[in-house]
Amino acid sequence: MNTNALKDALVLGSGPGALSIAAALANEKLSVEILSEQSPNEPWPFTYGIWGEEVDELGLSDLLEHRWINTVSYFGEGDKDPNSKKNEATHHNRDYGLFDKNKLQAYWLGQCNKAAIKWHKGSAINLETKDLISTVKTSTGQELNARLVIDATGYKPVFIKAPDQGPIAVQTCYGIVGEFNAPPVEQGQFVLMDYRCDHLEPEERKEAPTFLYAMDMGNGKFFLEETSLGLSPPVTLDELKRRLEKRLENRGLEIKSLQHEEHGLYLPMNMPIPDLTQPVLGFGGSAGMVHPASGYMVGSLLRRAPKVAKALSFAMKDSKASSASLAKKGWEVLWPTELKRKQAIYKFGLEKLMRFEEELLRGFFIEFFSLPNKKWYGFLTNTLTLKELISAMWQMFKKSPWSIKHGLMRMRGRELNLLLKVFNN
């Protein structure tokens, strides 16, 4: 291979977005280079959760570090009496897992290394696109050329432009790993959302609702995270910490040893779909791929990267294809009309939930999780067709009590505009 030849793709970043697309391109036998501020071996800061069925279908269950069968949520009000109906669990009847983040990284890195992808360390600061060649300049003055640049630099991308669609809802979390005087969740249990709120004063319940995301990590260790689903402006970390402490105190729980404290986790939920005519392609957080209702993305990266890479590999067979036309092809596959419409439904849903007070929100989730298992799972993993998604939402609407129907129908703020986007894409 002529190493000085113009590379097919230059990928920017070394997070899950960058590594997944670089690996998929390499698997298509395209020549790829990566430019990132950190070494690709640098451990990622987050641990990623995923539903068991998603990894099973991808044949990647061995990348999980933990897997829970006992998966529940709590949407009752909560009560001091543990046997009260207000403490009743909603059983999800499906597995949930946490990736071993080192294994996930190694999975993609292994594919990149097999193709001898060259890594450049540095920060991209400028991009110039001239017909067949795109050139990225780095902060150290290096110039890197490729037929196509893929910007996978996360939620504040260096080059990807997106329309301003108003405030971004941000998920915030405050989490701890530790040992407690008594198990905060059942042994071997995973709690997706505990919205019980009997530890809050009536006035506090009028504020933005938050929930507990919690799991038994084994060996007496538990991970507890007070989370705000998404809000603009976001719920502060101090407030989340205060609420977690109050929640624990109400249940008579004390921290015996604190092994890890997670501060400052901000996750933008309703990122706009970028401008799909720009001559640079995005992937991952930069491309608006995060699921607006769950904040999850890794399953989507694993499913969508091979499709984008295949389309690019085909388009690159034409040696006269310009950078702009290659980017266009990539955007088309990444954001086909059906996915854009589904994204509009998710964004509308999140906007609704942000305005629901705690009682309505708890009622909404009771209805949502009483949908057939395949349907709520398909909603959360973005694996339903548009038709199936609409039918699931309609099914839920029909069987919901009037208070929830009213909440869903009442259009406030930008909700109507978001709903219209379902048809305008």
CB of 19 to ligand FAD, least distance (A): 7
Nearer to ligand FAD, 158 or 389 (CB): 158
Contacts of 94 (CB under 8 A, 6+ apart): 51, 52, 53, 71, 373, 377
Q: To the nearest whole angstrom, how small is the minimum distance from the Cβ of residue 283 to ligand FAD? A: 7
Minimum gap (Å) between residue 410 Cβ and ligand FAD: 30
Would you count residue 16 as binding ligand FAD (CB under 6 A)? Answer: yes
| Binding residue for ligand FAD, selected from 8, 15, 32, 364, defined by CB under 6 A | 15
| 164 vs 234: CA distance, rounded Å | 18
Stretches 89-97, 151-159, 308-316, 415-423: which one binds ligand FAD (CB under 6 A)?
151-159
Assess whether the previous peptide bond of 233 is cis (omega < 30° from 0). yes
Identified binder of ligand FAD from the candidate list 61, 102, 113, 123, rule CB under 6 A: 123
**Taking CB under 6 A as the rule, does residue 14 contact ligand FAD?**
yes
Residues 187, 323: Cα–Cα separation, whole Å: 54
Q: What is the per-residue binding string for ligand FAD in 229-268, x denoting contact by CB under 6 A?
A: ------------------------------------x-x-
Shortest distance, position 151 Cβ to ligand FAD, whole Å: 8
Q: What is the 3-state secondary structure (H, E, C) of 118-159?
A: EEEECCEEEEEEECCEEEEEECCCCEEEEEEEEECCCCCCCC
Binds ligand FAD (CB under 6 A): choice among 65, 145, 154, 162? 154
Single-letter amino acid code for the residue at 117: I
Residues in the chain: 425
By the rule CB under 6 A, 96 interacts with ligand FAD: no
Measured from the CB of residue 257, what is the shortest distance to ligand FAD in angstroms?
A: 24
At 236 the three-state DSSP class reads coil
Which residue from 55, 237, 244, 290 is in contact with ligand FAD, where contact means CB under 6 A? 290
- Candidates 11-19, 104-112, 224-232, 406-414: pick the segment binding ligand FAD (CB under 6 A): 11-19
Q: Is 217 in the site for ligand FAD (CB under 6 A)?
A: no
Q: Are 17 and 283 in contact (CB under 8 A)?
A: yes
Tokens coding 146: 């490729």
- How many other C-beta atoms can be found within 10 angstroms of the C-beta atom of residue 32? 25
Among residues 71, 73, 111, 153, which is the contact residue for ligand FAD, using CB under 6 A?
153
User: How far is residue 298's CA from residue 349's CA, in Å, rounded to a whole number?
Assistant: 21
Rounded to whole angstroms, how far apart are CA atoms 228 and 312? Answer: 38
SS3 assignment, position 266: strand
Nearest-angstrom CA–CA distance, 313 and 249: 57
Q: What is the DSSP letter of 248?
A: H
DSSP SS3 for 12: strand
CB 293 → ligand FAD: shortest distance, Å?
12
Of 40 and 209, nearer to ligand FAD (C-beta) is 40
Tell me how far the alpha carbon of residue 161 is from its chain's centroid.
20
Residue 68 engages ligand FAD in binding (rule: CB under 6 A): no
| String marking each residue 18-57 x if it binds ligand FAD according to CB under 6 A | x----------------xxxx-------x-xxx-------
Stretch that binds ligand FAD, among 52-60, 231-239, 292-300, 320-328 (CB under 6 A): 292-300
Q: Residue 262 Cβ, how far from ligand FAD at the closest point, in Å?
A: 8
State the Cα–Cα distance between residues 105 and 41, nearest whole angstrom: 8
Beta strands in 240-341 (DSSP E): 255-268, 281-282
Judged by the rule CB under 6 A, the positions of this chain that interact with ligand FAD are 12-18, 35-38, 46, 48-50, 123-124, 152-154, 158, 265, 267, 284-286, 290, 295-298
